[in-house]
Structure 1
Amino acid sequence: MSINVVTLVGRVGGDPDIKYFESGTVKCQLTLAVNRRSRNNDKPDWFNLELWGKTAEVAGNYVRKGSLIGVKGSLKFDSWSDRQTGTLRSSPVINVEQLELLGSKRDGDGGMSDMSPDNF
């Protein structure tokens, strides 16, 4: 049995980077800062998020830098060859399947929750 499920709650590090493809597909990239549970750690862990389709559109319309969100998805690794050295590089990315906007209206998030594409 294999399980690849990642659940994170944190604050968005910058405004969404939205790309529209000729095929009609939409892709959104975000960074997410997540604090660890330990008391003596003041620096958050940063995660790269990738959202597609309706979920990407929702993020583009409602998520902004500083928004409190929850995400559920899977971990993948993007790989590429460094242009200068030819060295194989990789970066972990969370492929988001479900997005929840957790902030209040006062935070500018609209207070909406469970923004999975199934709800549209």
Structure 2
Amino acid sequence: MTNITILTGRITKDLELKQAGQTTVTNFSLAVDNPFKRDDTSFFDVVSFGKTAELLNNYCSKGSKILVEGNLKQDRFTDKEGKNRSVVRVVANRVEFLDSKSSNQGQPKQQANDSFANAGTDVDNSLPF
């Protein structure tokens, strides 16, 4: 069985890097426009871990355009009122930064060399997304 998700959209709020045990984690929402219907946007919850989370935190902010490749994960839990709940998130395995370096959005929060900025990401603007 296959569980692959690819989304292209814009980050909806500034990212916050958190520590979860020995791993770094970033949760964010991605706004994805429907290319076939005007004024139709979906919002997807995304979580990233480790180096991917660190790179997103260092080089992206609210409004940054990115491509996320990952898989869907469903978490089930019981809330405070005893009701069963379910949350579906995209677990990001790979992220591509899609903003141009000259645009105002997606500017690095701090100066870094290009080899570090592209570590763990494969930027390919030829994708049809």
Instruction: Tell me the TM-score normalized by structure 1.
Output: 0.84
1:37 maps to 35
2:62 maps to 65
5+ residue gaps, structure 2, are 109-113, 123-129
Paired residue type of 1:21: A
Alignment of 1:1-120 (within 5 A): 2-23=1-22, 25-39=23-37, 41-83=38-80, 85-105=81-101, 106-110=103-107, 115=118, 117=120
Q: C-alpha displacement at 1:107, in angstroms? A: 2.9
> Helix, strand or coil: the match of 1:16?
coil
Q: C-alpha displacement at 1:118, in angstroms? A: 7.0
Q: C-alpha displacement at 1:115, in angstroms? A: 4.7
Q: CA RMSD in A?
A: 2.2
Looking at structure 2, the residues matched to 118 and 102 of structure 1 have their Cα atoms a distance apart, in angstroms, of: 11
Q: Given that residues 67 and 103 in structure 1 are in contact (C-alpha distance below 8 angstroms), is that contact kept between their aligned partners in structure 2?
A: yes
Q: C-alpha displacement at 1:22, in angstroms? A: 4.2
Instruction: Tell me the TM-score normalized by structure 2.
Output: 0.79
Give identity over the alignment, percent.
32
Looking at structure 1, the residues matched to 36 and 119 of structure 2 have their Cα atoms a distance apart, in angstroms, of: 30
Distance 1:91 1:22, change over 3 A: closer
Q: Name which of structure 1's ranges 99-108 and 68-77 shifts more when overlaid on structure 2.
A: 99-108
Alignment: residue pair count: 114
5+ residue gaps, structure 1, are none
Looking at structure 1, the residues matched to 6 and 119 of structure 2 have their Cα atoms a distance apart, in angstroms, of: 14
